[in-house]
Amino acid sequence: MRLRLTDYRHLVWDWNGTLLDDTWLCCESLNGMLDRRGLPRVDPADYTRLFEFPVQRVYRKVGIMVDEAEFEAVSHEFVATYESRKAECGLHRGALELIDDLAGRGATHSVLSAYERGLLQSTLDGMALSSRFRKLCGGGDIHARSKAERARTHLHDLGVAASETLYIGDTVHDLESARAMGTDCLLVAHGGQHRSRLEGHGVPVIDSFDELHEVLRDLPA
C-alpha cells in the first residue's frame, strides 16, 4: 500500500464499526439475546475477539445455536434491538474531518456495507451524510452476509479504477472485500474486530482516524 492517502482518487468505506461507532451497541444487542436465553453475557473486549463473518458463527460461539431456518428469527431479534437504539451512535472521532479533508484534496467516497440497503440509506440520510458519498451499497437483507460479491461490481458501477482506490474497514472481511475489488486496504482497530484479529494479513492496521488526519495535516493541499 502507498503511504500517501492523497495518491488515491476514491475511498470505499465500510459503515458499521468503521465510520459509525456502534460496536458497543452490537455487543449490548447480543447481550440482550443472551440474557433472554439465560446464557453468559459477553464483555465488549471479548466481543471484538469473537466477532466475524458470517455472523452465524458468532451466535454459535456464544451458545445461540442457529441453523439457516432459525437464523431468520435470530437476525430479526438482533436488528430490532439495534434499530431501537442506533440513534445513540455517532461517527468515530475524526471520521467526518478525514472524509472532508480528502474530498477537499479531490478524492471521492462511497460506502460498501453489509447493513441492509434501506436501513443504510435512511441512517445516512438521518445523519445528513449521504451527500458526501457517490454511492451507498448495502446488503439485500438484514442478515449481514458477505460483501465480496457486491464488491466486484462496486467500482465498475462507479467507473473508478481499482489501482486508484483504497478500501477502509474494521474487519478481516473488509480485507476480503477489498481483495475481491482488487484495491488496497487499510484496517482500523476501533471497531468490530480486535487489533489482534486484524494484524498479520499484510495490510496496515491503525488505531484511530486521528492517526491518518495527522498525516494529512502535514501534506500540501
Q: Does residue 68 register a pLDDT over 90?
A: no
CA distance 42 to 219: 42
- Mean pLDDT to the nearest integer, 158-167: 94
Q: Does residue 130 register a pLDDT over 50?
A: yes
| Confidence tier at 3 by pLDDT (50, 70, 90) | low
Name the more confident of 156 and 2: 156
> What does the mean pLDDT of the chain come to?
91
Name the more confident of 201 and 141: 201
Q: Does residue 156 register a pLDDT over 50?
A: yes
Which of the residue ranges 12-21, 121-130, 141-150, 165-174 would you say has the lowest mean pLDDT?
Answer: 141-150
Which residues on adjacent β-strands are paired with residue 56? Answer: none
Q: Does residue 37 register a pLDDT over 50?
A: yes
- Mean pLDDT to the nearest integer, 78-84: 95
Those residues whose C-beta lies under 8 Å from the C-beta of residue 82, and which sit 6 or more positions away, are: 22, 25, 26, 29
Q: How far is CA 156 from CA 72, 74, 75, 121, 192, in A?
A: 31, 34, 31, 20, 28
Q: Does residue 71 register a pLDDT over 90?
A: no
Q: Does residue 75 register a pLDDT over 70?
A: yes
- Mean pLDDT to the nearest integer, 101-120: 94
| Confidence tier at 218 by pLDDT (50, 70, 90) | low
